[in-house]
């Protein structure tokens, strides 16, 4: 995150600090640190929606690389003499293309791929092209691979080119490095047959050499870095609705997402047709970013992995008929999937699934502690099925924490039915989802104050403020999320984790807004909501401090003028950290008293997120419009007097 020293902001704050008459007073008691804040408190929820995986975090640049989309040539233009065949070397992805000599030296056989919203490459960077290929009998074949840029005259110009000699009639992987001579944002990958002998090609792939952790075939660096920079405590994957599928056939099946990447069967992505107004017929899941990679990423960024599996219910929004789901007495394969997943993550290398993990390059266990069963499920059909999973997991893996669902809404009939059921089933955490308007967020400051402390913990697993009539990213939504999060923090004894949703969106391929991080093929941008998440995660602290205004929690209650606040101490650093959100459109005189702070002067670093335009947000073209600004204050004899500007979220860090 960039911190700018904003002198105007500081001057305004200092000037205003002189006028403390009629100030609201927040009292923070440092003397008795309260509940511990779970290291998992602020985390990430990843779902392959908005081209978050293929076309996004997964750095593969070729769409439909295995010719396995419903139309095997989707994303490709094939020309000359070609044929799609289906007896290839990878049994779960059997299609490939055969190119033959077109009959005249001036004719061409070949194919070109449009990538994800274009193939975008950078000048002088290296790109790894690979292909599985074979020639007929022992006569070599030759292909020419090029990155082409449609130029101003609509000619096609090769910015990188290489020739590959195919020397074996056995399927063999060939690789070459392409280094473009110029930037191209909407290019193509083209392959031409350059021999009279035919050639057969399968799993045609192109990755930047520069990936997260420099892993070949890995993740897009800028996107992974944005995740890492949030220091997430928990990483929930792979969804969301894609866990359930539109029908059971299209549900996410983790076993299909591990092992050799070429043999992971392509799955449709339910988001390709979920919204007519955002219809993307070319949205499939290659599973190149699969469960192994999710575990690895969790480890890289220091987050506890939280996989979510199907409970045997297809999306209940789309399937009201019981016959669409697995009958409760046929759940065994689904339960086995859950048990096998735990073995894949944690089992010894001598176990079936632990062995696969080791073969994939990670003999050490991933240390899985949590598993989610079902996404947004509801009513009795869920409870009946979940019970079987709970029994099976408890008896084999009693230490694994199970996350159950409270349905798709944060209140109402389904929610009220499920919470007691989750208690009865003794799940460890209950996942709550809320995509709600401003009024809802403003009214939820004390949501968790009255929750039963003896039951399961809360996982606020999907949330975002969806402004009324404003389903796009904007500052005011982020501000209200910050306000709401004071209530999560104050209730850290019951709220164990929270994740904003969705995480990623491609500017040309989104289905759902708002989102935390936007990107195109070249750049990415952190939204205001991202900065809010980061300000919390960077300043998580270790223990809650009691924070009150006239004896009440500071939660935007009547008479509190839209102020929300929470505070923590960090026992590791000795810091006190106070978060204050002014949701009103007026500046407000404010005093903060830190009871128990030794008398004298204590320096305070303040980090403030502010925008004068509530509808504005950062964009790809203007990525730093709204960024946190740093300023300095001091507590004099336990007291800080200031005026908090309108519509601001400030974190005060007291040494």
Write out the residues near ligand AHR by the rule CB under 6 A: 47, 49, 239-241, 375-376, 408, 433, 462, 501-502, 512
Quick one: CA torsion of 619, 625, 628, 634, rounded to 10 degrees?
-170
User: Which of residues 389 and 510 has its CB atom nearest to ligand AHR in the complex?
Assistant: 510
Cβ–Cβ under 8 Å, residues 334 and 253: no
Closer to ligand AHR by CB, 5 or 275: give it: 275
Closest distance to ligand AHR from the beta carbon of 300 (Å): 23
DSSP per position, 348-417? -TTSHHHHHHHHTT--S-----EEEE-SS--HHHHHHHHHHHHHHHHHH-TTSEEEEE--SSSSSHHHHH
Pairing of strands 575-582, 267-268: unpaired
N-term to C-term CA, the chain: 21
**In the complex, minimum distance from the CB of residue 244 to ligand AHR, in angstroms, rounded to a whole number:** 8
The CA distance from 93 to 203, in Å, is 9
Nearer to ligand AHR, 262 or 376 (CB): 376
What are the DSSP E strand ranges found in 240-341? 267-268, 284-285, 304-309
Q: Which residue is nearest to ligand AHR (CB)?
A: 240
Catalytic residue selected from 376, 432, 438, 496: 376
For the question of residue 376 being annotated catalytic, the response is yes
Could you give phi then psi for residue 340, rounded to 5 degrees? -65, -30
Question: For the chain, what is the largest distance between any 2 Cα atoms, rounded to a whole number of angstroms?
Answer: 91
- Locate tokens 């640049």: which residue? 61
DSSP string, 161-195: EEEEEE--SS-EEEEEEE--SS-EEEEEEEEEE-S
Which residue has tokens 């297809």?
314
Tell the smallest beta-carbon distance from residue 45 to ligand AHR (Å).
7
CA separation for the pair 166, 211 (Å, rounded): 28
Nearer to ligand AHR, 290 or 407 (CB): 407
Is the Cβ of residue 433 or residue 540 nearer to ligand AHR in the bound state? Answer: 433
**Cβ 317 to ligand AHR shortest distance, Å:** 8
Angstrom distances, CA of residue 247 to CA of 258, 307, 388: 22, 20, 21
Asked whether the bond before 502 is cis by omega within 30 degrees of 0, the reply is yes
Nearer residue to ligand AHR within complex by CB, 268 or 462 = 462
Residue 295 CB, nearest approach to ligand AHR (Å): 21
Which sequence positions are flagged as catalytic? 376
């Amino acid at each position: 995150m960039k911190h700018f020293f904003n002198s105007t902001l500081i001057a305004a704050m200092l000037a205003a600090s002189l006028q403390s008459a009629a100030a609201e007073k927040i009292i923070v008691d440092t003397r008795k640190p309260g509940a511990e804040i779970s290291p998992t408190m602020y985390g990430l929820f990843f779902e392959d929606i908005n081209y978050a995986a293929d076309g996004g975090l997964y750095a593969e640049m070729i769409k439909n690389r295995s010719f396995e989309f419903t139309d095997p040539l989707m994303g490709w233009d094939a020309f000359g003499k070609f044929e799609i065949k289906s007896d290839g070397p990878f049994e779960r992805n059997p299609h490939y293309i055969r190119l033959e000599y077109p009959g005249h030296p001036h004719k061409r056989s070949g194919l070109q791929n449009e990538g994800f919203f274009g193939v975008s490459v950078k000048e002088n960077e290296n790109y790894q092209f690979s292909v599985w290929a074979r020639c007929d009998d022992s006569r070599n074949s030759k292909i020419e691979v090029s990155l082409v840029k449609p130029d101003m005259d609509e000619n096609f110009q090769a910015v990188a080119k290489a020739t590959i000699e195919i020397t074996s009639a056995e399927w063999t992987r060939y690789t070459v490095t392409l280094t473009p001579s110029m930037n191209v944002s909407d290019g193509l990958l083209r392959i031409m047959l350059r021999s009279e002998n035919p050639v057969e090609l399968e799993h045609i792939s192109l990755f930047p050499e520069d990936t997260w952790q420099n892993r070949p075939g890995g993740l897009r660096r800028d996107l992974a870095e944005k995740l890492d920079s949030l220091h997430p405590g928990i990483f929930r994957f792979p969804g969301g609705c894609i866990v359930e599928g539109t029908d059971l056939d299209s549900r996410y099946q983790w076993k299909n997402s591990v092992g050799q990447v070429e043999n992971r069967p392509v799955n449709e992505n339910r988001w390709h047709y979920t919204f007519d107004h955002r219809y993307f017929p070319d949205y499939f899941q290659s599973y190149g970013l699969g469960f192994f990679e999710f575990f690895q990423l969790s480890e890289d960024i220091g987050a506890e992995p939280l996989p979510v599996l199907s409970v045997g219910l297809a999306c209940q929004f789309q399937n009201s008929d019981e016959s669409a789901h697995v009958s409760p007495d046929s759940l065994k394969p689904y339960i086995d999937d859950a048990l096998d997943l735990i073995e894949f993550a944690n089992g010894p290398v001598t176990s079936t699934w632990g062995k696969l993990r080791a073969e994939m390059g990670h003999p050490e266990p991933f240390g899985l502690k949590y598993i989610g069963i079902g996404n947004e499920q509801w009513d009795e059909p869920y409870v009946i099925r979940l019970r079987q999973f709970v029994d099976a997991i408890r008896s084999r893996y009693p230490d694994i924490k199970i996350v159950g669902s409270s349905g798709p809404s944060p209140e109402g009939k389904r929610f009220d039915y499920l919470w007691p059921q989750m208690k009865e089933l003794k799940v460890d955490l209950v996942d709550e989802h809320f995509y709600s308007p401003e009024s809802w967020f403003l009214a939820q400051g004390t949501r968790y104050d009255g929750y039963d402390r003896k039951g399961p913990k809360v996982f606020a697993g999907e949330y975002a403020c969806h402004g009324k009539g404003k389903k796009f990213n904007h500052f005011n939504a982020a501000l209200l999320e910050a306000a709401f999060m004071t209530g999560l923090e104050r209730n850290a004894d019951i709220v164990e984790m929270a994740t904003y949703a969705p995480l990623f969106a491609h500017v040309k391929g989104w289905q759902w807004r708002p989102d935390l991080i936007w990107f195109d093929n070249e750049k990415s941008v952190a939204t205001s909501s991202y900065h809010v998440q980061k300000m919390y995660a960077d300043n998580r602290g270790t223990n809650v401090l009691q924070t009150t205004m006239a004896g009440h929690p500071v939660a935007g209650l009547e008479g509190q003028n839209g102020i929300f606040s929470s505070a923590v101490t960090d026992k590791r650093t000795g810091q006190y950290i106070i978060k204050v959100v002014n949701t009103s459109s007026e500046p407000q005189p404010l005093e903060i008293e830190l009871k128990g702070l030794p008398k004298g002067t204590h320096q305070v670093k303040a980090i403030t997120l502010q925008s004068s335009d509530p509808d504005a947000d950062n964009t790809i073209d203007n990525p730093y419009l709204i960024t946190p600004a740093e300023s300095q204050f001091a507590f004099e004899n336990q007291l800080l007097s200031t005026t908090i500007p309108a519509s601001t979220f400030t974190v005060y860090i007291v040494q």
